[in-house]
Amino acid sequence: MYKLFFNLVFKRMDPEKAHYLAFRWIRLAARTPVLRTFVAAALAPRYKELRTEALGLRMHGPFGLAAGFDKNAIAIDGMAMLGFDHIEIGTVTGEPQPGNPKKRLFRLVQDRALINRMGFNNEGSLAVAARLASRSPVFRTTVGVNIGKTKVVPEAEAVGDYVKSTERLAAFADYLVVNVSSPNTPGLRNLQATEALRPLLTAVREAADRSVRSRRVPLLVKIAPDLADEDIDAVADLAVELGLDGVIATNTTISREGLVTKGDVVDETGGLSGAPLKERSLEVLRRLYARVGDRITLVGVGGIENAEDAWQRILAGATLVQGYSAFIYEGPFYARAIHKGLAARLRTSPYATLADAIGADVRKKADAA
């Protein structure tokens, strides 16, 4: 049914307009008491065997919504209603900004992918913090806050910009993510180099600890799939050295290799997400797990279309898995299908619990070697 609707309606619309239309419907449903109860019952069934502990938090399951969909924390209950076990809002910047000029979001339907150069369009950390502070949750869920650099802030002043957002948002975050891997903010990816990343992560950690004294806010970093293998190893080592809580692998890619889609849309600048990112994101995840094991939490994202994709990320070392682009193509039953499929795979696997399956394929390979 959704695929027919997508082809007849959304496919004919500008992708960004379609996004905001769907967003309004989701928010409206979540605000309607009887309707949201029925929607949640249909789309967010709970499986006891999928209950997950990660980052010191208990979640209904391992599958969440990646950053980028809800930039301003306006649809957390709506996305929880649709079955996502955690919702990562943002990316939020120190100051409000409109993002890049439109048109800035493109569908590659044949590849089940998106190209975006949104440019961190958001209301800024002060406004988002105020919204989170006044929120009255309808559904229990985990909320991650993804922070990035304001575009007009020079690279040399990036640390102060991240610290500003941290001080404003840490109190409302179940976990914080430092985003240094979007290709759509000039110079941002330079911060992935360990000599720049070390002082940045150290300053954010200290700011979070100053701002929230009643608990330790978990801190993660999100990396790009385009990093060389030795740079992935360097980030992994740095994360362990600094006592980071996790790494999210991966953000969008600037590569256009292997696309089926032809035409000018392929040449649009921006980050590519969706199915074409699947293999590289999985490779990065495996490399990270081989390097860090269970010392930090790994989050797998990029090309998660179905339960098998999510299961492969778990076997590769991910404790948590996130999706976004496939949600556009799969529609409201996306999270439900992944939960159902994960539960089925776990039941027929040799693992007693989901935690036992984390990194199993990487460990087997290491043992065989």
State residue 8's pLDDT score: 86
Task: Give me the pLDDT at residue 369, please.
Answer: 76
Nearest alpha carbon to residue 339 among 1, 44, 87, 59: 44
What is the pTM (predicted TM-score) of this model?
0.97
Residue type, 339: H
Instruction: Quote the pLDDT of residue 188.
Output: 85
User: Residue 58: what pLDDT?
Assistant: 97
The 3 state secondary structure assigned to 286-299 is HHHHHHHCCCCEEE
Cβ(230)–Cβ(187) under 8 Å? no
Domains of the chain in start order, with CATH, are 2-368 (3.20.20.70)
CB 61 within 8 A of CB 47: yes
Distances (CA, A) of 147 to 173, 191, 237: 11, 13, 22
**Catalytic-labelled residue, pool 165, 181, 182, 281:** 182
Cβ burial, residue 350 (10 Å; 0-12/13-18/19+): exposed
pLDDT string in tens for the chain (369-residue length): 888 888 888 889 999 999 999 999 999 999 999 999 999 999 999 999 999 999 999 999 999 999 999 999 999 999 999 999 999 999 999 999 999 999 999 999 999 999 999 999 999 999 999 999 999 999 999 999 999 999 999 999 999 999 999 999 999 999 999 999 999 898 889 999 999 999 999 999 999 999 999 999 999 999 999 999 999 999 999 999 999 999 999 999 999 999 999 999 999 999 999 999 999 999 999 999 999 999 999 999 999 999 999 999 999 999 999 999 999 999 999 999 999 999 999 999 999 999 999 999 999 999 987
The answer to whether residue 211 is catalytic is no
pLDDT of residue 3: 86
pLDDT of residue 10: 86
